[in-house]
Structure 1
Amino acid sequence: MRSIVGLWRWRKNPLCRRSDRREAWLALCAVVLIVVITPVVGWLGTSAAHDALLQNIDEQKRSRHQIWATAESVQTRAPLDTDPETAVQSPERHRVVAHWAGPDGTSHKGTVTAKAQVQPGERFRVWTDAEGRVVKSPMNQGTAASYAALAGLAAAVGAAAAAETGRRLVVRQLLRRRYARWDAEWARIGPDWGRTGSNY
């Protein structure tokens, strides 16, 4: 941004070199790309991620089934949080030894985690796959929207970083050329530096 301001102030100054103008125009192009392209990339990334996550939700709903399980024994565990002040707010986890019939009719037995307190002999809901194995519940649309927003934000930040990285690489190349020209000019003028008018 300072290069752009400098270009405007020095646009008619004879000391403004061509490389300075190139650097200022490059900074202007980078700013335009970041301001215009970054929101577009973020929106496209959000849309693409949201569509993919919705397809994943549909697939999970087709492949996962909520069935009834019967508790045999229950073991209540303390919350994972070890801080006594915040552990009170954390829900208790109930590990339940239960049996259930899978979607294909086969009988299963295992240890599952229940969100609510259950007693031996009570029935509660669990999610299983087509073979009766316990799985997580399908992702909901709110979680999908949050993940999609994070993906869009990451895409936008990546686009802005790419534009800035490209600008810095080009500026570095311009500086190398500028220093090379200075070295060549000094090699031409340096040997005669200070000799003019020294014959007295």
Structure 2
Amino acid sequence: MPLQAFRGPRVWLWRWRRNPLKRRADTVEAWVMLGACLGTVLAGVVAGCAAAGTVGHALARERAERRPAVARVTGQVPGPRSSASGTSAGDRGWATVRWTAPDGSTHTGQAWVAAGAPAGTPVTVWTDPQGRLVTRPASPAQARLGAGLVGGLAGVAAGGVPCLMGLALHGRLERYRMRQWDAEWARLGPQWRRTAG
């Protein structure tokens, strides 16, 4: 409680109230900090929503364009390694597969298939509209998570710019006020010493 008496009561929005001891630097600092806070929130929300929307639309377009196709393994896939090596019988490996695109053209590529699969084994692969091999598209839940993470990171990064600018301006104003205090003390300090003596 004595600390509260020493500090005095906390007055909200004191920098905007009329006060004979308030300096112009106090008012400027109040507006700078208010602008920095509003800029931080606004930039973070706008950038985060824009980034999340862009990523969400891109992943939705991938889901709409990519189609599963049945491919066939063209040759024997090497069998699973022995259990003595510490690997399981469910090993997978790369193998050459062949599939037919929607336009009727035949394509070949590498796909991740079960080890030991014989030639002719059907494998599901994902293709783009041109029939080229692509990765499996993200599920709606994965797309939401990815868009949310990218949006959050973009929002924090964009919001950090006005926040750091506000802190830098606050530091400059603080140094300016300290220089003013030094100048006034240099002017008034000798007068106080004369009256004390």
The within-5 A match list for 1:125-140 is 125-140=124-139
Cα pair 1:68 1:124 within 8 Å, conserved: yes
Alignment pair present for 1:67 and 2:69: yes
RMSD over equivalenced CA pairs, Å: 4.5
TM-score where L is the length of structure 1 = 0.61
- What's the TM-score, normalizing by structure 2? 0.62
Structure 1 counterpart SS, 2:77? strand
Give 2:149's aligned residue. Answer: 150
Asked whether the 8 Å contact 1:97–1:109 carries over to 2, the reply is: yes
2:59 is the counterpart of 1:57: yes
- The aligned amino acid for 1:74 is V
Deviations 1:38-74 (A, max 9, x none): 49944x5555444433432343245433211111221
Runs of 5+ consecutive residues of structure 1 not aligned to the other structure: 1-5, 79-83
Q: Which stretches in structure 2 are left out of the alignment for 5+ residues?
A: 1-6
Q: Which moved more, 1:68-77 or 1:121-130?
A: 68-77
Distance 1:8 1:29 in 2: 22
- Deviation of 1:75 after TM superposition, in Å, equals 3.7
- 2:59 counterpart SS class: helix
Q: Distance in 1 between matches of 2:116 and 2:59?
A: 28
Aligned length: 180
Q: Distance in 1 between matches of 2:57 and 2:135?
A: 17
Q: Please give the per-residue CA displacement for 1:7-56, whole angstroms capped at 9, x wherever unaligned.
A: 84487xx9x7648965995798489749xx749944x5555444433432
Q: Relative contact order (alpha carbons < 8 A, sep ≥ 6): 1 or 2 greater? A: 2
C-alpha distance in 2 between matches for 1:77 and 1:23: 73
Identical residues among aligned pairs (%): 25
Does residue 124 (structure 1) correspond to residue 149 (structure 2)? The answer is no
Change (3 A) 1:139 1:7: farther
**SS state of the match for residue 166, structure 2?**
helix
